[in-house]
Amino acid sequence: MTRPPAHDLAAERAVIGAALLAPKVVADLAATLTPADFYRPAHTRLWETLCHMHAAAQPIDPIAVAGRLTETGDLGMVGGAPYLHTLIATVPTAANAPHYARIVVEHARRRQVADLGTYLAQRADDGTDVADLVATGRAILDQASNGAQWPPLIPLGDHRHLPDFPSHALPAWVAEMVHGVAEFTQTPVDLAGCIALAALSTAAGGRAEVEVRGSWREPTNLFTVVVLPPGSRKSAVFAAMTGPLLAAEKALVERTKPAIVEAQLAARVAGKAAEKAAIAAANADAAGRDTLLAEATDAAMTADAITVPVLPQLVADDVTSEEAASLLAEQNGRLAVLSPEGGIFATIAGRYSGTPNLEVFLKGHAGDMLRVNRRSRPSEHVEHPALTLGLAVQPDVLRDIADMPGFRGKGLLARILFSLPENTVGRRKIGADPVPDTVTDTYTSNLGALVGSLADWTDPAVLCLTPDANERVLDIERAVEPRLAPGGAWGHIVDWGSKYTGAIVRIAGLIHLAEHLRDGWGNPIAADTIDRAALLGTYYATHALAAFSDMGADKTTHNARHVAAWIERTGATTFTKREAFRALKSAQLPTAADFDAPLAALESHGYLRQTETPERPRTGGRPPSPTYLVHPHIHQPAAPVQELPTPRQTA
């Protein structure tokens, strides 16, 4: 049995309650009691908020603190406004606040010493130099006994503790396939889940749209991008999740071939008749020419009116913008670009033409009319184009696209639902069970049925909302709007956040159609479906914040995040620069000197603290490697992701 780390939640509650009851104690305790000393993450966040409000000379009381936590999106994480009043009620007297604080600090020092014991026990038998171990131990013990404090973390903008994909929000037959594929391939559920949404978008895009209210309609096509490093089995997951689409496409082709043959024959016969009528008119005398000319004209118009259907195509891979536009015109406005690679971004950025061409993708997402000009045929236009994008890209691609001309400024990145799952390589189970045949068969059958039921629609089927569902959408709009304001939580990604509600509506439309495979247009979308789509929206919002942060990071910050992820993954409470180099040496960090900048960045942001380096041995030899202590907050449990609050939830 392993005992839990030393802590006293009653003392933690009493300290914060005393601060709420008598705000002046914050000034007295802030110098000796830091947020890192609290064991419970909610208490850490509360004390951090109280210290910030005190430093800003803001009033500290339950109402003001609740308002500040609402602004930062942390009120739900700490237990809501009622918990603040509970903390006050548990305080016998605010005069005892210093006593409670000493208890909290003492337990924090004991946890620090316990972490040292764990570290020394782990390193004692692995060949680590004894002198390094002794020096590290003394440094940590000295800091613990002297009451050295950790400063609050200054976020690197990293994406630690991102939420997992909420697959339970999907229809059951989709969720079962997602979990089956993720288990068999030993990949994150996020990957199969995002591709599943792209598959549903491929089946329904261009054939259905959701009517929210008034003239506001949202098409049911999505742009999804999953970010994973090489070797993550992206291709295997793509094949499993999109294979049924290719089977459905083949079925559509077989169904269309007779109509193509019939139309080709009719066009040939009509063409011959028009040609014959034209010859007759040309050879007629003046008296009968007008009549024969009119007949020839009618015959020519009849021949021209015959349209030969094209072979259906649901999925394309790496196409140019021009090819995508032509395919959209041929396929009556529906096309999906699905690929386990991100080459399409370089293509539309002008890899071949030298000029970025984003119009097809921008209009293909929004459903705005698209005109296609051809050299050999008259120009065509697509009234309601619906382009689906489902990609899995490497992290380097994510950073590259931020610098591609027009991608951010013209709004392409604002249309993408990003997913940055945790990589499972190195922790995968060998010999995982394959997806059960019943699950695969159901997924294949249902996805094919969805494609088939919507294939013949020319004008999009209109999906309506129930009154309760409309209220849910209004709640989401009310909750999102303050976040988009300058200085708000989404103020720096207002382009993406402005499309957030629309994305939820699109996802809800796909969930609805997947649960009503053959008659979704005959039933309104229920409030529960909006709620489930909102769960997915919360997931994508959190990942979007991380993605845009990653896209804007410089090389040093990116490498610092890489080191921080290794620290979190290994659970290290202290380590040497040499250990980090051995574990993380790569093309991006090829030498020990390359670790100086990211380690310095982590130290300046409060993630690390370097101990005093022991003197070089008089007998010569290699100098000791710098040793770093790790901020305890890095290893604290992640706070649950808070969904966007709505009036209904906060009432």
What CATH number did the domain enclosing 579 receive?
1.10.10
Contact call for residues 516 and 523 (beta carbons, < 8 A): yes
Predicted pLDDT of residue 475: 94
Higher pLDDT, 546 or 193: 193
Higher pLDDT, 136 or 434: 434
Strand 370-372, strand 380-382: pairing:
antiparallel
* 520 pLDDT tier (thresholds 50, 70, 90): confident
Q: Encode burial over 590-602: b for 16+ CB neighbours within 10 A, e otherwise.
A: eeeebbebbbebb
Q: Which of 500, 523, 551 is the last residue of a domain?
A: 551
Query: What is the tens place of the pLDDT at every residue in 172-206?
Result: 999 999 999 999 999 999 999 999 999 999 999 88
Please tell me whether residues 339 and 374 are part of one structural domain: yes
Whether 567 is in a domain gets the answer yes
Please tell me whether residues 261 and 233 are part of one structural domain: no
Please tell me whether residues 514 and 464 are part of one structural domain: yes
Q: Hey, how many other C-beta atoms are within 10 angstroms of the C-beta on 632?
A: 19
Q: Which residues pair with 211 in a beta bridge?
A: 217, 464
Whether 138 is in a domain gets the answer no
Q: Does the pLDDT of residue 248 top 50, yes or no?
A: yes
Percent share of the chain, pLDDT over 90: 30
Q: Tell me the C-alpha to C-alpha distance, in Å, between residue 42 and each of 36, 106, 491.
A: 11, 19, 25
Cβ neighbors of 121 (< 8 A, separation 6 or more) are none
- Average pLDDT value for the chain: 83
Q: Hey, how many other C-beta atoms are within 10 angstroms of the C-beta on 578?
A: 18
Q: Which of 551, 572, 598 is the last residue of a domain?
A: 551
**Amino acid identity, position 387:** L
Predicted pLDDT of residue 128: 58
Please tell me whether residues 113 and 199 are part of one structural domain: no
Task: Report the C-alpha gap between 120 and 116 in whole angstroms.
Answer: 6
Query: What is the tens place of the pLDDT at every residue in 435-456?
Result: 999 999 999 999 999 999 888 8
Predicted pLDDT of residue 382: 81
Whether 156 is in a domain gets the answer no
Predicted pLDDT of residue 649: 43
Please tell me whether residues 404 and 504 are part of one structural domain: yes
Please tell me whether residues 450 and 563 are part of one structural domain: no
DSSP state of 648: H
Please tell me whether residues 503 and 432 are part of one structural domain: yes
Whether 646 is in a domain gets the answer no
Backbone CA torsion sign across 194, 199, 203, 207: positive
Determine the structural domain holding residue 111 and report its residue range.
Answer: 9-126
Query: What is the tens place of the pLDDT at every residue in 594-647?
Result: 898 889 888 877 788 887 655 555 555 567 788 888 887 776 654 444 455 444
Domain count, the chain: 4
Please tell me whether residues 99 and 177 are part of one structural domain: no
Please tell me whether residues 461 and 322 are part of one structural domain: yes
DSSP states along 603-637: HHTTSEEEPPPPPPPTT--PPPPPEEEE-GGGGSP
DSSP alpha helix (H) spans, 552-595: 555-570, 577-584
Q: Does the pLDDT of residue 286 top 80, yes or no?
A: no
